[in-house]
Amino acid sequence: MTKVTRRHMAGTGWKMNLRAFEVPGYAQRLLQQIGTGDTSAIDLFVLPPFTSLAAAAAAFGGTPVAIGGQNMHWEEHGAWTGEISASMLVDAGCRYVELAHSERLQHFGETYEHVCSKVDRALATGLTPILCLGETAEDRRRGGSDDVLAWQVTTALAGQPAARVPDVVLAYEPRWAIGGSEAASCEYVAARHATLRALLRDRYGADVANRTRILYGGSVTPRNGPDLVALDDVDGLFVGRAAWDPEGFAQIVAEVADAARAKAGRSGS
Ligand code: PGA
């Protein structure tokens, strides 16, 4: 078995939930719960709505929990009513920005061509993009999942030099598993993550493929978390509903930390 040294991650996107006044209470409960476990080996993040970023920056400042935006524009400034730039996210204390979430693609007409420009801007501004990838139920039905993933990752990372790629966190989130009642099966997730890893290897070389983190998201819960994050190519979990309750998120954080320790301790082959 191969030793995995990629730093694992546990994170949550709050979507359009948790107003500013609710953030201190969430943070206090979360930090209290994770304070008792050893999470030093993993990276933690929460992605609040824009108007809750200031409250989150205050509540999580000086803690291991980093914050990020759920979207951004690809331009630095200009006549883009209703949009937020990468620098504005940095000003608000963000380290991360989520890009290409299924709900952005589905409801707001975002495309991977837009996402490519956003990845570029985010990296240039010092933000770590969390780049969502995933096939629809229809893609899956016609057996096209891997082709869709290849197209998405190729389009979103077009123009990036290999050295930049490990600065992007990939999040495999099958679109049919988001907001549903069940995550994808471990077998299915293992196959898609292996495809993504192989794609990175072919395109950018083994070193980049070994260093780039690939998270799984889509109906993750404290119950299915341990099996999913135990998979070799799954470098962490990206959680929606189950983490809007801080106790649920804390449980998943502990599961990711356990898995990271177990994988790092494996003997190399
Ligand atoms: P879910 O959301 O965990 O509620 O399915 C995941 C996501 O949208 O990233």
Residue 269 predicted with pLDDT over 50? no
User: Lowest mean pLDDT: which of 37-46, 109-118, 167-176, 220-229?
Assistant: 37-46
Q: Which is the catalytic residue, given 73, 173, 193, 255?
A: 173
How close is the Cα of 193 to the center of ligand 1, in Å? 17
39: tokens are: 């999470």
Angle, vertex CA 166, rays to CA 203 and CA 35, nearest 5: 150
pLDDT digits (tens, 9 = 90+) for 41-74: 999 999 999 999 999 999 999 999 999 999 999 9
pLDDT for position 17 = 98
- 8, 73, 98, 101: the catalytic one is 101
> Average pLDDT in the 13-30 region?
98
Q: Whose CA is nearest to atom 7 of ligand 1?
A: 240
pLDDT at 1: 45
Per-residue pLDDT tens digits for 144-201: 999 999 999 999 999 999 999 999 999 999 999 999 999 999 999 999 999 999 999 9
Mean pLDDT of the chain: 96
Please report the atom of ligand 1 found closest to the CA of residue 219. Answer: 5
Report d(CA 190, CA 214) in Å as an integer.
11
Q: Read off the pLDDT of each residue in 221-245 and give the average, rounded to a whole number.
A: 98
CB 15 within 8 A of CB 47: no
Q: Given pLDDT bands bounded at 50, 70 and 90, which one contains residue 265?
A: confident
Ligand 1 centroid distance, CA of 224 (Å) = 13
Residues near 22 by Cβ (< 8 Å), separated by ≥ 6? Answer: 52
Does residue 174's CB lie within 6 angstroms of at least one atom of ligand 1?
no
**Which residue has a Cα nearest atom 1 of ligand 1?**
240
**Residue 2, pLDDT score:** 57
* Ligand 1 pocket mutation, candidates 239, 245, 251, 252, criterion most atoms within 8 A of CB: 239
Clarify whether 101 is annotated catalytic: yes
The tokens describing 141, both together, are 């039905």
3 state SS for the chain: CCCCCCCCEEEEECCCCCCHHHHHHHHHHHHHHHCCCCCCCCEEEEECCHHHHHHHHHHHCCCCEEEEECCCCCCCCCCCCCCCCHHHHHHCCCCEEEECCHHHHHHHCCCHHHHHHHHHHHHHHCCEEEEEECCCHHHHHCCCHHHHHHHHHHHHCCCCCHHHHHHCEEEECCHHHCCCCCCCCHHHHHHHHHHHHHHHHHHHCHHHHHHCCEEEECCCCCCCHHHHHHCCCCCEEEECHHHCCHHHHHHHHHHHHHHHHHHHHCCCC
Specify the ligand 1 atom closest to the Cα of 177: 5
Say how many Å lie between the CA of residue 243 and the centre of ligand 1.
Answer: 9
Q: Lowest-pLDDT range, 17-26, 29-38, 100-109, 121-130?
A: 29-38
